[in-house]
């Protein structure tokens, strides 16, 4: 090849390169619109079409559509697609962006988030706390409404609730009750949004109802009924209340319903996810328990007992305003009392002087009448309530010693508030808690029906009431709590 040919070839190559450079420079001087994709705040590439990525995700996620019975799947919550003008950035394929997303973050579907706001409460240490917010996801808000209705009807008689809703409650003529108000104490927020598919999404009323009642979808414990079992026995032995048993087993009408050997029942501890308040107007007849008046006669032999006058119970008509939260009585106020039949006291004469030893055959009631038995002895929310709560007598009303004895402990500490413990010297001890005032001191000898304090709301108490406990042996220190009503 001669020199002239070599120069021509080199010149041709130079001109071709110059042309390519010129074309490249001209192409990059023209800006174009793209979309930058950010995942969790970090850029993962550029795409030409936002719509193309959204359509690709919807097309590929057939399993999610089938699982949740929806028509469309959307981009993740933490994915941002921002319009951008660029010159020469490298474009990433839609498929590659999709593959990177699906391994890191969940896609979303259209539905509703429901936030049950926490409420101010008091914990077992006496400190004010606010319960945690709870977030629930559903595809259809009607699922939530029906589940809430199911939960309400677990705590309130269905017929009475329907009459309240329809304003068809019968007026109380002699005795009975009317619902005055039903509401959820928690604030509930419902928002339509795209919800992440890695969260629990409730698709049925049954599942959500179970969660609202028990706080979980886990299978509840089962029990096979044995010969002689009663609802009360099965409940207590498995650390649940009769009310919890009936909620978990709606086929039974009340705690007196019969059980049959071989039946399978559910033993679920209730953990309601909101606070349902029921306010009632109640008119009822209540027995006025007669009291025993003991007189001592030194002319009679010690141990001699003569009944001078037989005791008879009286009857009062009592009108109350009551409040329940999730089926548990939290407060009761007596607004009217009409004595229908007076009680006649029993009068007993005994030989010798008054004794410090309690009479195990008779126990005086520790409050005035009328009263309301609110929370009874037994398990509630998985914890033993070791006494009988008595309410409705009014703040500052008298508290009486249930029997003769010696005051062995007094104090003001959590959770009992102002309290007293009496040793009746017959194997029994009684405890009186949440009082507003105390009129006796440690070491003092007290007699049956002596006023020892006043009803209040000190310590861990949701309303004005007396916590009355009866123990065989010293309370909490080797003693065994028994149902106080078993003495009456």
Read off the pLDDT band of 457 (50, 70, 90): very high
pLDDT at residue 217, as a whole number: 94
SS3 26: helix
Nearest-angstrom CA–CA distance, 39 and 56: 17
Residue 427 predicted with pLDDT over 80: yes
The total number of residues shown for the chain amounts to 488
Residue 188 predicted with pLDDT over 60: yes
Residue 22 predicted with pLDDT over 80: no
Structure token digits, residue 339: 């004595």
Residue 195 predicted with pLDDT over 70: yes
Distances (CA, A) of 241 to 249, 255, 264, 273: 12, 10, 18, 18
Residue 27 predicted with pLDDT over 70: no
Task: Tell me how far apart the terminal alpha carbons of the chain are, to the nearest angstrom.
Answer: 129
Q: What is the mean pLDDT of residues 375-382?
A: 88
Question: Which of 19-33, 228-242, 382-396, 431-445 has the least mean pLDDT?
Answer: 19-33
Percent of the chain residues topping a pLDDT of 70? 93
pLDDT at residue 15, as a whole number: 42
SS3 351: strand
Q: For 255-277, write each residue's pLDDT tens digit.
A: 999 999 999 999 988 999 999 99
Domains defined along the chain, listed by start:
28-105 (no CATH), 110-172+183-213 (no CATH), 217-270 (3.10.350.10), 276-487 (2.70.70.10)
- Residue 260 backbone dihedrals phi, psi, to 5 degrees: -120, 140
SS3 485: helix
Q: What is the mean pLDDT of the chain?
A: 91
Read off the pLDDT band of 178 (50, 70, 90): very high
Distances (CA, A) of 340 to 316, 346, 367: 5, 19, 20
Residue 125 predicted with pLDDT over 80: no
Q: Cβ–Cβ contacts within 10 Å for residue 90, how many?
A: 7
Residue 162 predicted with pLDDT over 60: yes
Read off the pLDDT band of 29 (50, 70, 90): low
Q: Strand ranges (DSSP E) for 371-448?
A: 372-373, 378-380, 383-385, 388-391, 398-400, 405-413, 417-423, 428-435, 437-438, 445-446
Read off the pLDDT band of 167 (50, 70, 90): very high
Q: For 56-107, write each residue's pLDDT tens digit.
A: 999 999 999 999 999 999 999 999 999 999 876 789 999 999 999 998 999 9
Q: What pTM was estimated for this model as a whole? A: 0.82
Nearest-angstrom CA–CA distance, 273 and 417: 28
Residue 20 predicted with pLDDT over 50: no
pLDDT at residue 17, as a whole number: 45
Q: Where are the alpha helices (DSSP H) in 73-172?
A: 94-102, 141-155, 158-165
């Amino acid at each position: 090849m001669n020199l002239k040919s070599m120069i021509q070839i080199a010149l041709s190559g130079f001109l071709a390169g110059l042309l390519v450079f010129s074309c490249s420079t001209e192409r990059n001087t023209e800006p174009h619109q793209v979309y930058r994709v950010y995942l969790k705040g970090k850029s993962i590439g550029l795409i030409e079409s936002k719509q193309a990525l959204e359509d690709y995700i919807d097309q590929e996620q057939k399993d999610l559509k089938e699982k949740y019975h929806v028509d469309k799947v959307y981009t993740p919550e933490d994915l941002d697609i921002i319009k951008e003008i660029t010159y020469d950035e490298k474009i990433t394929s839609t498929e590659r962006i999709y593959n990177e997303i699906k391994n890191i973050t969940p896609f979303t579907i259209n539905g509703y988030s429901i936030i049950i706001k926490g409420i101010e409460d008091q914990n077992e240490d006496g400190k004010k706390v606010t319960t945690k917010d709870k977030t629930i996801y559903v595809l259809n808000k009607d699922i939530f409404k029906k589940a809430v209705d199911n939960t309400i009807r677990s705590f309130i008689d269905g017929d009475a609730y329907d009459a309240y809703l329809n304003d068809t409650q019968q007026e109380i003529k002699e005795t009975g009750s009317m619902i005055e108000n039903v509401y959820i104490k928690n604030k509930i927020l419902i928002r339509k949004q795209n919800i992440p598919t890695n969260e629990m999404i409730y698709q049925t009323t049954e599942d959500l109802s179970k969660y609202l009642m028990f706080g979980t979808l886990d299978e509840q414990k089962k029990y096979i009924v044995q010969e002689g079992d009663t609802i009360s026995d099965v409940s207590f032995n498995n650390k649940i209340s009769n009310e919890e048993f009936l909620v978990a087993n709606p086929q039974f009408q009340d705690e007196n319903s019969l059980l049959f050997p071989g039946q399978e029942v559910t033993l679920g501890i209730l953990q309601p996810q909101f606070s349902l308040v029921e306010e009632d107007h109640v008119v009822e007849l209540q027995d006025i328990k007669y009291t025993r008046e003991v007189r001592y006669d030194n002319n009679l032999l010690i141990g001699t007992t003569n009944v001078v006058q037989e005791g008879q119970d009286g009857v009062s008509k009592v009108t109350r305003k009551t409040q329940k939260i999730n089926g548990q009585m939290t407060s009761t106020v007596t607004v009217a009392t009409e004595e229908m039949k007076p009680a006649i006291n029993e009068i007993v004469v005994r030989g010798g002087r008054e004794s410090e030893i309690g009479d195990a055959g008779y126990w005086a009631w520790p409050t005035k009448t009328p009263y309301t038995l609110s929370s009874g002895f037994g398990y509630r929310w998985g914890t033993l309530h070791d006494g009988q709560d008595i309410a409705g007598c009014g703040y500052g009303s008298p508290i009486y010693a249930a029997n003769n004895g010696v005051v062995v402990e007094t104090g003001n500490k959590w959770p009992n508030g102002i309290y007293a413990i009496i040793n009746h010297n017959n194997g029994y001890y009684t405890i009186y808690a949440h009082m507003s005032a105390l009129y006796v001191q440690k070491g003092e000898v007290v007699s049956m029906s002596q006023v020892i304090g006043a009803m209040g709301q000190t310590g861990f108490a949701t309303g004005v009431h007396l916590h009355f406990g009866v123990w065989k042996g010293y309370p909490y220190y080797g003693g065994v709590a028994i149902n106080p009503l078993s003495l009456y």
